[in-house]
Structure 1
Amino acid sequence: MVKLSDLLEGKDSQERNIRIKHAFFSDVPVVIDGSIAQALIILANLTRSMGDKTDLFDEMAAKELFKSEHWHKGILATAPWVVTHYFKDPNSRASGCARWFPEHYGEDGQKHLGYSHNSNKVSKSHFLATEFFWHNRVTSLFEQFSNERGSPFIQKLITLGFPEKRVQPLQDACRGGMYNTLPDFVSPNSVVVSFPDGDGNYIAVTPLVEVGFQRWIHNLVRHTDIRCRPLFYAWPFQVSSFLATCGGKLYCLYYPPRLDKRDLSLESILDKWRSKKHVFNDRAIFRKGNLSFLLQLISQADC
């Protein structure tokens, strides 16, 4: 497990930046114990555009962002949805941003439904959404700022120059994001769904998921129930280590399984799942809450 304190020892800023990006965008979160201020600086600088060559450990550059009202508004705009993937495809023109959370966010760290309005704004979400290990637990600034009991991250943020008057709006936005529900409209081509597999993990229909499930999903690309398209990411190492090993090329499952009009009845759907005729029943265990959620998605789909 990589420790942030070890990464900061490098003297070559370019090499250090690469190592830091790999660590913060890895599928194994970096450990930041004892380096809260440094983590805040890096997470702030990660919100800059891809072409910006600012040193990620540049404290003055981070402080400029903390004092910027424009930057603050951009961060607040990401709070309601907190993306954890690069939604450049299948549809970056989705009509809004939302994220549906489990009842107790943080216990399993999973996010179940989300979509992004504009992929150009995804970098802004790095500040709140990037996950890391702190005190032997995976967390994020989004979760820390939403904590009713306060957090040492807030005090460190103020010490680095973040205006105190902006702290409360930031905390309110994060707390509000915890209670997001299913949106009124989700573009059919932007749905991202995770199915519990009974082993504490999830099967996800999403461009980027846990490595084992991504491999499993790739085996479904020729299945008649699944629609997919090839994707290419120019900077795959910044998205996930698995994608980097693929050279940025993968298939994206971008839509729930095809259902005919006659299949939309509750009886028909239950029959498919009970008799294991549905592709996701291979690994998924459906409980009443999951079934209700999936039926809600199906009712919104434009079949």
Structure 2
Amino acid sequence: MVIKHLSELLQIKELDERTEAIRRGFSSFTDSVDVTGCEKEALIILVNLTFPKKAVKDVLDKKHAKATLKDEYHLNECIKQVEWFHTHNLKYPDIRVSKQRLIAKPIVPQRQVLSSADCSPTLGWSNNSAKINLAKLFVCYFYWQGRLVCLANIFCGGIPKEWLSAFKALGVSAKSLNVISAQVQLRLPQSELPSYVDKYSTQVLMPYHDSYTSITPVVSHGLQVELQQAASRREGRYTHLNYNRPGAVSELVAGLGGKVRCLNYPPKISDNKSNFHESMLTRLEHGQSLFDQYALLRNEFPNALDKLVDNYTELAVKQRRQAKVASLKQVRHSLSAWLAPLIEGRKAVEENDVDIKAGLLNQDGIEWQLLNHPDSDWESLLPLLFSHLNFMLSNSNKTRKYAYHPDLMKPLKNQLLWILKQLSRGPAEVVDAKKLQRYLHLKNISVYDAQLLSNPYCFGLPSLTAVWGMMHNYQRKLNAMLGTTIRLTSFAWFIREFDYVKGTQLPEFAMQGRKESEFRRPGIIDKRNGDLVFDLVIHIDGYEDDLAKLDNSTTKLKACFLSRFAGGTMHGPSVNADYEWCKLYENEDLLYSILSRFPAYGKWVMPTKHSINSVRELTVLLENNASLCSVMAGYMLLEKPKARAGSIAPLHSYGEPVIGLASCDSAIDIRLQGQLNFYRRAFWFLEAKEQFLLMKRI
């Protein structure tokens, strides 16, 4: 990020262009300007920004600024707006929340999630939209002597001599400044949380000690600002949400014109869901290759190869290493997808599910060899397979330049060798099943109109806490029906289908108005919904007697199945389905033999070990790793839970939703990495502490 100095903007000669550049420089959704040495000019600009654009054509009008500072009524109105400064916006996204603000103490950062603890501490404003310009005097941020500050911060920390001189030049005495400083400090405490929960504020029940606490999610102004600034620098991929009354939401949303950007990293689920055995025979009959040629043509593969060829001279050593590792991982994913039809075809041939007629394949060709070669000797096929890979690369204009490239020969060969070694590996040693655990496999679960905006910053995967909440509710219903104390501790999640629902849903009718005397719909809030089909593998712990009851209660397992997930409607498969969709497993080997045959078009949503320390690091990771998705990963608590009026539970706390990372790995990747890796890596659990409630790798 390059910080511009105010003096650069002052040199623009054309009035309209200069004014527009200065207004953008002092807006919250773009990178702030440095005003060191230009304190007087900065003060003139801040004062003139308290008027609408039509009222002040030149924000450098010193005469107008001087007259404004002498207008006690106008100045007092600006000071009053400090009462509505916040660190977290209670009115986002529902503007009906009123007469409350939230100023939270800094929270402790957590390595694997991104929160306001990883951002510069900044204040936002939200109240009456008619007063929005008046707030700009004290809330617009700028760099001064290396620090990101606003005028309110300067007044609260003792007014430096440079700013004393600036105010004096505009006719404000030191005595008047002391009065203004005292009024600002009075209205801006170190922390302030509402004494009651507004009826329009969302509340979520989460575990706390041996009971539950209600959490109201609130968006962090600092994190939201840095995401908007990253979007303006074109770092990362974004979609936008529309707000019809942006001035009533916040100064930030008003500056954006009601178009708020959020990260756009949905899982990449293939639309090709044809029956594999039928498609394999059809391709052979038409003389087509069994290799998935499109895996080499998707942008992720050429992009990864480009990065391996590049010298990364513009990056630091750590960034070069991270970029290289990410590129090699993407190459491995793409090559696995390229080989996936043959890997599945080999299993089908071994189990006699597919009968390949004589003449359909050349018995000396690589495809026949891969389908029929002994498992123990797959590595011997490396030269033939590597030659075929380069041949296929040379057949496409998009990938021709990579064929036999001297900088790619070694990495491509090494990745192919790793895949062949994994395929040559024998089955894992059978480990005695743990008697006090079970795995519940829920297959082909359909959800309609699930919320894909998992938190205010992320669009794509439904919230991980929504999956955990559904699982925990399932546990409660099972224990109530069976009279047991079993625990559903963690889950692995496989998404088979993923589709967006176009348009915005109308809210339901309810009693509205100031006195709740009108039966009508509330205002529309832009949300994103989608339909998905997934499998869930749930790990279950419990006493031996309780697990024995569970083993004999398959019908009750289905009866307790829930109907809601992530705000959408959830269904099991049709009653006419010819497979068991709700099944218990005691043996991990047997379960893995089923899971390893999942279709190649789906994705496992896996935990990662990536640490995130800034928005910049997050966007770099997402851009370098095509399999990564941003996701709602839990809450950072802004206070210790306590009794609060309006809460749906005995205890209540305000919580900040955080951004985590999930890796969407294909079924082929999971198969290649093996059973032990799956049970170590694939399961999510909720870690509940005093300061946070986060979804993590078990």
Please indicate, yes or no, whether the TM-score normalized by the shorter chain is above 0.5: yes
Determine if the alignment matches structure 1 residue 193 to structure 2 residue 196: no
- SS for the counterpart of 2:243 is strand
Looking at structure 2, the residues matched to 140 and 22 of structure 1 have their Cα atoms a distance apart, in angstroms, of 15
Determine if the alignment matches structure 1 residue 174 to structure 2 residue 184: yes
State the one-letter code of the partner of 2:60. Answer: F
State the one-letter code of the partner of 1:173. Answer: Q
Alpha-carbon contact 1:130-1:140 (below 8 Å) kept:
yes
Match of 1:38 in 2: 41
Looking at structure 2, the residues matched to 61 and 106 of structure 1 have their Cα atoms a distance apart, in angstroms, of 39
Where in structure 2 are there 5+ consecutive unaligned residues?
A: 108-115, 203-215, 263-452, 457-462, 474-488, 493-564, 567-629, 650-698
Deviations 1:138-175 (A, max 9, x none): 11111111113645313321321124443223212332
Shift of 1:8: 0.8
Shift of 1:52: 1.8
The 5 Å alignment of 1:1-303 reads 1-25=3-27, 26-82=29-85, 90-92=93-95, 94-96=97-99, 98-102=101-105, 109-111=120-122, 116-148=126-158, 150-176=160-186, 177-185=188-196, 187=198, 188-189=200-201, 193-194=218-219, 202=223, 210-211=227-228, 230-232=242-244, 239=252, 243=256, 248=259, 290-291=636-637, 293=639, 295=641, 300=646
Alpha-carbon contact 1:27-1:210 (below 8 Å) kept:
no
TM-score, length-scaled by structure 1: 0.66
Shift of 1:21: 0.9
State the one-letter code of the partner of 1:20. Answer: I
Distance 1:85 1:282, change over 3 A: closer
Shift of 1:85: 9.9
Looking at structure 2, the residues matched to 194 and 165 of structure 1 have their Cα atoms a distance apart, in angstroms, of 38
Looking at structure 1, the residues matched to 176 and 491 of structure 2 have their Cα atoms a distance apart, in angstroms, of 52
Identity score, percent: 20
Where in structure 1 are there 5+ consecutive unaligned residues?
A: 196-200, 222-228, 264-273
Looking at structure 2, the residues matched to 138 and 39 of structure 1 have their Cα atoms a distance apart, in angstroms, of 14
Which of the two has higher C-alpha Rg? 2
Deviations 1:180-207 (A, max 9, x none): 4102246435987247xxxxx84x5xxx
Distance 1:178 1:152, change over 3 A: farther
Shift of 1:285: 7.4
Looking at structure 1, the residues matched to 647 and 45 of structure 2 have their Cα atoms a distance apart, in angstroms, of 39
- SS for the counterpart of 1:210 is helix
Alpha-carbon contact 2:106-2:117 (below 8 Å) kept:
no
Looking at structure 1, the residues matched to 136 and 142 of structure 2 have their Cα atoms a distance apart, in angstroms, of 12
Alpha-carbon contact 1:65-1:71 (below 8 Å) kept:
yes
State the one-letter code of the partner of 1:184. Answer: S
Match of 2:334 in 1: none
- SS for the counterpart of 1:100 is coil
State the one-letter code of the partner of 2:151. Answer: L
State the one-letter code of the partner of 2:181. Answer: Q
- SS for the counterpart of 1:293 is coil
Alpha-carbon contact 1:129-1:141 (below 8 Å) kept:
yes
Alpha-carbon contact 2:142-2:150 (below 8 Å) kept:
yes
Distance 1:115 1:234, change over 3 A: closer
Alpha-carbon contact 2:4-2:34 (below 8 Å) kept:
yes
- SS for the counterpart of 2:74 is helix
Distance 1:40 1:276, change over 3 A: farther
Distance 1:213 1:51, change over 3 A: closer
- SS for the counterpart of 1:98 is coil
Shift of 1:291: 3.0
- SS for the counterpart of 2:183 is helix
Alpha-carbon contact 1:94-1:186 (below 8 Å) kept:
no
Looking at structure 2, the residues matched to 181 and 115 of structure 1 have their Cα atoms a distance apart, in angstroms, of 14
Looking at structure 2, the residues matched to 85 and 134 of structure 1 have their Cα atoms a distance apart, in angstroms, of 24
TM-score, length-scaled by structure 2: 0.32
- SS for the counterpart of 1:184 is coil
Looking at structure 1, the residues matched to 91 and 641 of structure 2 have their Cα atoms a distance apart, in angstroms, of 27
Distance 1:56 1:163, change over 3 A: same
Distance 1:284 1:151, change over 3 A: farther
Distance 1:31 1:100, change over 3 A: same
Q: Which moved more, 1:56-65 or 1:103-112?
A: 103-112
Shift of 1:179: 2.4
Looking at structure 2, the residues matched to 79 and 133 of structure 1 have their Cα atoms a distance apart, in angstroms, of 20
Shift of 1:13: 1.4
Alpha-carbon contact 2:119-2:226 (below 8 Å) kept:
no
Alpha-carbon contact 2:156-2:184 (below 8 Å) kept:
yes
Distance 1:298 1:97, change over 3 A: closer
- SS for the counterpart of 2:242 is strand
Q: CA RMSD in A?
A: 5.0
Deviating 4+ runs (over 4 angstroms): 83-94, 103-108, 189-192, 212-219, 232-235, 249-254, 256-260, 274-279, 281-286, 294-303
**Greater strand fraction, Structure 1 or Structure 2:** 2
Shift of 1:100: 0.3
Alpha-carbon contact 2:196-2:645 (below 8 Å) kept:
no
Alpha-carbon contact 1:33-1:133 (below 8 Å) kept:
yes
Alpha-carbon contact 2:196-2:644 (below 8 Å) kept:
no
